[in-house]
Amino acid sequence: MSFPGVDTDFLLAEEEMIAAYHPTNRNLFNLFRNAIIAWKVLRVRNPDLIISTGAGVAIPFFYLGRLFGIKTIYIESLTRIHGLSLTGKLIYPVASHFYVQWPGLARRLRKAVYGGQVL
Amino acid sequence: MRAFVTVGLDRKPFLRLLQLVDLAVERQLLSRETLVQCGHTDFCSRNLTIVKFLPFASMLEAVKKAELVITHAGVGSVLLCLQAGQQPLVVPREGDRGEHVDNHQLEFAEVMEAAGKVMAAYNKKEFFRLLEQASAWCHNLHNVREPVLEPELARTIKALIGNRFLNTL
Protein backbone atom coordinates (compact mmCIF):
# COMPACT_ATOMS: atom_id res chain seq x y z
CA MET A 1 0.00 0.00 0.00
CA SER A 2 1.36 3.41 -0.85
CA PHE A 3 0.45 6.72 -2.41
CA PRO A 4 0.57 7.21 -6.17
CA GLY A 5 3.39 9.55 -7.17
CA VAL A 6 6.58 9.95 -9.16
CA ASP A 7 8.64 8.21 -6.49
CA THR A 8 6.41 5.16 -6.02
CA ASP A 9 5.90 4.82 -9.80
CA PHE A 10 9.65 4.45 -10.15
CA LEU A 11 10.63 2.57 -7.01
CA LEU A 12 7.69 0.14 -7.13
CA ALA A 13 7.58 -0.29 -10.93
CA GLU A 14 8.17 -4.04 -10.61
CA GLU A 15 5.88 -4.48 -7.60
CA GLU A 16 2.16 -4.81 -7.14
CA MET A 17 0.96 -1.65 -5.40
CA ILE A 18 -2.45 -0.78 -4.01
CA ALA A 19 -3.07 2.98 -3.90
CA ALA A 20 -4.23 4.64 -0.68
CA TYR A 21 -5.97 7.97 -0.26
CA HIS A 22 -3.81 10.93 0.77
CA PRO A 23 -3.00 13.25 2.49
CA THR A 24 -3.41 11.29 5.72
CA ASN A 25 -1.91 13.83 8.16
CA ARG A 26 -4.66 14.80 10.60
CA ASN A 27 -7.24 13.89 7.95
CA LEU A 28 -10.16 11.89 9.35
CA PHE A 29 -12.00 11.53 6.04
CA ASN A 30 -9.04 9.84 4.33
CA LEU A 31 -8.43 7.75 7.45
CA PHE A 32 -11.99 6.45 7.07
CA ARG A 33 -11.56 5.78 3.32
CA ASN A 34 -8.25 4.00 3.94
CA ALA A 35 -9.88 1.94 6.71
CA ILE A 36 -12.32 0.57 4.14
CA ILE A 37 -9.42 -0.33 1.82
CA ALA A 38 -7.58 -1.90 4.75
CA TRP A 39 -10.57 -4.04 5.66
CA LYS A 40 -10.92 -5.31 2.08
CA VAL A 41 -7.20 -5.92 1.55
CA LEU A 42 -6.74 -7.78 4.81
CA ARG A 43 -9.88 -9.92 4.34
CA VAL A 44 -9.12 -10.84 0.72
CA ARG A 45 -5.36 -11.36 1.02
CA ASN A 46 -5.17 -12.57 4.60
CA PRO A 47 -1.43 -11.74 4.96
CA ASP A 48 0.89 -13.29 7.57
CA LEU A 49 2.59 -10.00 8.32
CA ILE A 50 1.96 -6.26 8.12
CA ILE A 51 5.04 -4.02 8.04
CA SER A 52 4.89 -0.23 7.88
CA THR A 53 6.84 2.95 8.38
CA GLY A 54 3.61 4.95 8.71
CA ALA A 55 2.25 7.49 8.51
CA GLY A 56 -1.54 7.86 8.93
CA VAL A 57 -2.37 5.22 6.32
CA ALA A 58 -0.85 2.56 8.62
CA ILE A 59 -3.30 3.12 11.48
CA PRO A 60 -6.32 1.16 10.16
CA PHE A 61 -4.04 -1.69 9.05
CA PHE A 62 -2.53 -2.07 12.52
CA TYR A 63 -5.85 -1.92 14.38
CA LEU A 64 -7.59 -4.30 11.96
CA GLY A 65 -4.47 -6.47 11.90
CA ARG A 66 -4.69 -6.76 15.67
CA LEU A 67 -8.40 -7.61 15.37
CA PHE A 68 -7.69 -10.33 12.78
CA GLY A 69 -4.66 -11.71 14.66
CA ILE A 70 -2.06 -10.70 12.05
CA LYS A 71 1.53 -10.00 13.17
CA THR A 72 2.63 -6.39 12.72
CA ILE A 73 5.95 -4.53 12.60
CA TYR A 74 6.02 -0.74 12.88
CA ILE A 75 9.17 1.27 12.15
CA GLU A 76 9.14 4.87 13.42
CA SER A 77 10.66 7.59 11.26
CA LEU A 78 14.34 8.51 11.59
CA THR A 79 13.14 12.08 12.16
CA ARG A 80 11.55 11.14 15.52
CA ILE A 81 14.37 11.56 17.99
CA HIS A 82 12.87 12.59 21.34
CA GLY A 83 9.25 11.49 20.94
CA LEU A 84 6.91 9.47 18.75
CA SER A 85 4.89 10.79 15.82
CA LEU A 86 1.10 10.90 16.22
CA THR A 87 0.94 7.71 14.14
CA GLY A 88 3.59 6.10 16.35
CA LYS A 89 1.64 6.97 19.51
CA LEU A 90 -1.59 5.57 18.09
CA ILE A 91 0.03 2.36 16.83
CA TYR A 92 2.23 1.71 19.89
CA PRO A 93 -0.46 -0.16 21.88
CA VAL A 94 -1.38 -2.58 19.07
CA ALA A 95 1.87 -3.33 17.18
CA SER A 96 3.50 -6.76 17.70
CA HIS A 97 6.95 -5.26 17.09
CA PHE A 98 7.74 -1.57 17.46
CA TYR A 99 11.07 -0.19 16.20
CA VAL A 100 12.49 3.31 16.72
CA GLN A 101 15.71 4.60 15.16
CA TRP A 102 17.26 6.30 18.19
CA PRO A 103 18.53 4.39 21.26
CA GLY A 104 17.48 7.18 23.65
CA LEU A 105 13.88 6.98 22.50
CA ALA A 106 13.92 3.17 22.78
CA ARG A 107 15.05 3.44 26.41
CA ARG A 108 12.08 5.60 27.32
CA LEU A 109 9.44 3.31 25.81
CA ARG A 110 9.06 -0.17 27.30
CA LYS A 111 7.99 -1.86 24.08
CA ALA A 112 10.13 0.08 21.58
CA VAL A 113 13.28 -1.58 20.24
CA TYR A 114 16.31 0.08 18.67
CA GLY A 115 17.47 -2.03 15.72
CA GLY A 116 19.69 0.40 13.85
CA GLN A 117 18.88 3.20 11.45
CA VAL A 118 18.04 3.45 7.76
CA LEU A 119 21.24 5.45 7.34
CA MET B 1 27.08 27.14 -7.91
CA ARG B 2 24.58 24.93 -9.77
CA ALA B 3 22.08 23.69 -7.21
CA PHE B 4 19.20 21.25 -7.19
CA VAL B 5 16.41 22.24 -4.82
CA THR B 6 13.57 20.03 -3.57
CA VAL B 7 10.92 20.55 -0.90
CA GLY B 8 9.75 16.93 -0.80
CA LEU B 9 6.31 15.43 -1.28
CA ASP B 10 4.59 17.19 1.63
CA ARG B 11 1.23 18.72 0.81
CA LYS B 12 1.99 21.80 2.91
CA PRO B 13 3.79 24.61 1.06
CA PHE B 14 7.38 25.59 1.89
CA LEU B 15 7.51 28.99 0.25
CA ARG B 16 10.19 30.31 2.62
CA LEU B 17 12.89 28.01 1.21
CA LEU B 18 12.07 28.82 -2.42
CA GLN B 19 12.16 32.55 -1.69
CA LEU B 20 15.61 32.12 -0.09
CA VAL B 21 16.84 30.22 -3.15
CA ASP B 22 15.45 32.91 -5.46
CA LEU B 23 17.23 35.59 -3.44
CA ALA B 24 20.46 33.57 -3.53
CA VAL B 25 20.33 33.57 -7.35
CA GLU B 26 19.81 37.33 -7.34
CA ARG B 27 22.82 37.70 -5.06
CA GLN B 28 24.74 35.44 -7.49
CA LEU B 29 25.50 32.84 -4.82
CA LEU B 30 23.61 30.29 -6.91
CA SER B 31 23.75 29.92 -10.67
CA ARG B 32 20.77 30.60 -12.96
CA GLU B 33 20.98 26.93 -13.97
CA THR B 34 19.64 26.03 -10.53
CA LEU B 35 16.78 23.55 -10.86
CA VAL B 36 13.88 23.69 -8.41
CA GLN B 37 11.40 20.88 -7.82
CA CYS B 38 8.65 22.85 -6.11
CA GLY B 39 6.20 19.97 -5.44
CA HIS B 40 3.08 21.28 -3.74
CA THR B 41 4.50 24.79 -3.23
CA ASP B 42 3.30 27.24 -5.89
CA PHE B 43 6.21 29.46 -6.86
CA CYS B 44 7.17 31.56 -9.86
CA SER B 45 10.49 33.22 -10.63
CA ARG B 46 12.28 34.23 -13.79
CA ASN B 47 15.60 33.49 -12.04
CA LEU B 48 15.00 29.77 -11.75
CA THR B 49 13.98 26.68 -13.69
CA ILE B 50 11.01 25.34 -11.76
CA VAL B 51 9.31 21.97 -12.21
CA LYS B 52 6.51 20.54 -10.09
CA PHE B 53 7.74 16.95 -9.94
CA LEU B 54 10.55 15.39 -11.96
CA PRO B 55 10.24 11.72 -12.87
CA PHE B 56 12.06 9.92 -10.07
CA ALA B 57 14.96 8.72 -12.26
CA SER B 58 15.54 12.29 -13.47
CA MET B 59 15.44 13.54 -9.90
CA LEU B 60 18.15 11.02 -8.93
CA GLU B 61 20.26 12.29 -11.82
CA ALA B 62 19.68 15.89 -10.75
CA VAL B 63 20.76 15.07 -7.19
CA LYS B 64 23.92 13.33 -8.39
CA LYS B 65 24.89 16.03 -10.87
CA ALA B 66 24.18 19.09 -8.72
CA GLU B 67 27.08 20.95 -7.16
CA LEU B 68 24.86 21.44 -4.12
CA VAL B 69 21.50 19.99 -3.10
CA ILE B 70 19.24 22.25 -1.06
CA THR B 71 16.26 20.60 0.62
CA HIS B 72 13.85 20.56 3.54
CA ALA B 73 14.84 18.35 6.51
CA GLY B 74 12.65 15.44 5.38
CA VAL B 75 14.03 11.98 5.83
CA GLY B 76 13.31 10.88 2.23
CA SER B 77 15.12 13.80 0.65
CA VAL B 78 18.05 13.65 3.07
CA LEU B 79 18.52 9.89 2.62
CA LEU B 80 18.41 10.26 -1.15
CA CYS B 81 21.20 12.85 -0.96
CA LEU B 82 23.35 10.73 1.35
CA GLN B 83 22.89 7.68 -0.88
CA ALA B 84 23.99 9.78 -3.85
CA GLY B 85 27.06 10.93 -1.92
CA GLN B 86 25.78 14.49 -1.44
CA GLN B 87 25.96 16.46 1.78
CA PRO B 88 22.81 18.58 1.43
CA LEU B 89 22.10 22.03 2.79
CA VAL B 90 18.84 21.57 4.70
CA VAL B 91 16.33 24.15 5.91
CA PRO B 92 13.84 22.48 8.29
CA ARG B 93 10.11 23.01 7.85
CA GLU B 94 8.61 24.60 10.98
CA GLY B 95 5.24 23.61 12.42
CA ASP B 96 4.66 27.10 13.82
CA ARG B 97 4.87 28.57 10.32
CA GLY B 98 2.41 26.03 8.92
CA GLU B 99 5.16 24.28 6.96
CA HIS B 100 4.57 20.90 8.62
CA VAL B 101 2.41 19.25 11.29
CA ASP B 102 4.98 19.96 14.03
CA ASN B 103 8.64 20.85 14.59
CA HIS B 104 10.18 17.39 14.16
CA GLN B 105 12.20 18.55 11.13
CA LEU B 106 14.05 20.98 13.41
CA GLU B 107 15.14 18.14 15.71
CA PHE B 108 16.08 15.97 12.75
CA ALA B 109 18.16 18.76 11.19
CA GLU B 110 20.00 19.37 14.48
CA VAL B 111 20.91 15.71 14.93
CA MET B 112 21.97 15.19 11.32
CA GLU B 113 24.02 18.37 11.47
CA ALA B 114 25.73 17.23 14.68
CA ALA B 115 26.54 13.91 12.95
CA GLY B 116 28.16 15.85 10.10
CA LYS B 117 25.75 14.41 7.53
CA VAL B 118 24.13 17.70 6.48
CA MET B 119 24.61 21.45 6.65
CA ALA B 120 21.60 22.97 8.40
CA ALA B 121 20.31 26.54 8.22
CA TYR B 122 17.64 27.66 10.68
CA ASN B 123 17.29 31.22 9.42
CA LYS B 124 18.09 33.47 6.48
CA LYS B 125 21.46 34.61 7.82
CA GLU B 126 22.71 31.05 8.33
CA PHE B 127 21.39 30.03 4.93
CA PHE B 128 23.52 32.64 3.19
CA ARG B 129 26.54 31.97 5.41
CA LEU B 130 26.39 28.24 4.56
CA LEU B 131 25.91 28.96 0.87
CA GLU B 132 29.06 31.05 0.84
CA GLN B 133 30.90 28.32 2.70
CA ALA B 134 29.59 25.67 0.29
CA SER B 135 30.71 27.67 -2.75
CA ALA B 136 34.20 27.73 -1.32
CA TRP B 137 34.14 23.97 -0.84
CA CYS B 138 32.33 23.26 -4.06
CA HIS B 139 35.25 21.62 -5.86
CA ASN B 140 35.98 19.35 -2.92
CA LEU B 141 32.40 18.24 -2.26
CA HIS B 142 32.56 15.47 -4.81
CA ASN B 143 35.52 13.85 -3.09
CA VAL B 144 33.59 12.96 0.04
CA ARG B 145 31.33 10.39 -1.66
CA GLU B 146 31.24 7.01 -0.05
CA PRO B 147 29.52 3.79 -1.15
CA VAL B 148 26.15 2.98 0.41
CA LEU B 149 26.12 -0.15 2.54
CA GLU B 150 23.04 -1.99 3.72
CA PRO B 151 21.82 -0.06 6.76
CA GLU B 152 21.72 -1.83 10.12
CA LEU B 153 17.95 -1.41 10.39
CA ALA B 154 17.40 -3.31 7.11
CA ARG B 155 19.43 -6.25 8.50
CA THR B 156 17.47 -6.17 11.77
CA ILE B 157 14.10 -6.30 10.03
CA LYS B 158 15.23 -9.01 7.58
CA ALA B 159 16.46 -11.11 10.48
CA LEU B 160 13.19 -10.61 12.35
CA ILE B 161 11.05 -11.50 9.34
CA GLY B 162 13.32 -14.37 8.36
CA ASN B 163 13.26 -15.93 11.80
CA ARG B 164 9.64 -15.58 12.66
CA PHE B 165 7.83 -15.76 9.36
CA LEU B 166 9.75 -16.83 6.30
CA ASN B 167 10.69 -20.19 7.81
CA THR B 168 7.07 -21.02 8.51
CA LEU B 169 5.66 -20.05 5.12
Give domain limits for chain A. 6-114
Report ipTM (2 d.p.).
0.74
Q: Phi first, then psi: give them for residue B159, nearest 5 degrees.
A: -65, -40
For residues B80 and B58, give the distance between their C-alpha atoms in angstroms, rounded to a whole number.
Answer: 13
N residues, chain A: 119
* Residues of B with Cβ-Cβ distance to A22 under 8 angstroms: 11
Give the confidence band of A9 by pLDDT, cuts at 50, 70, 90.
confident
Least confident of A78-82, B19-23, B57-61, B158-162: B158-162
Half-sphere exposure of A10 (CA within 13 A, CB side): 11
Over 60: is that where the pLDDT of B141 sits? Answer: no
The answer to whether A84 and A59 are in contact (CB under 8 A) is no
Domains of chain B listed by start with CATH number: 3-142 (3.40.50.2000)
Least confident of A27-31, B16-20, B119-123, B164-168: B164-168
Alpha-carbon gap: A81 to the closest alpha carbon of chain B (Å): 7
* Residues of B with Cβ-Cβ distance to A51 under 8 angstroms: 157, 161
Chain B residues within 8 Å of chain A (Cβ atoms): 9, 11, 53-57, 59, 73-76, 79, 82, 101, 104-105, 107-108, 111, 117, 151-157, 160-161, 164-165, 168-169
Superfamily of the domain at A6-114: Glycogen Phosphorylase B; (3.40.50.2000)
Taking residues B1-15, report their average pLDDT.
Answer: 94
One DSSP character per residue, B73-132 reads: S-HHHHHHHHHTT---EE----TTTTSSSSSHHHHHHHHHHHTTS-EE-SSHHHHHHHHH
Taking residues B30-59, report their average pLDDT.
Answer: 94
- In three-state secondary structure terms, B36 is strand
Note the pLDDT tens digit of each residue in A50-76: 999 999 999 999 999 999 999 999 999
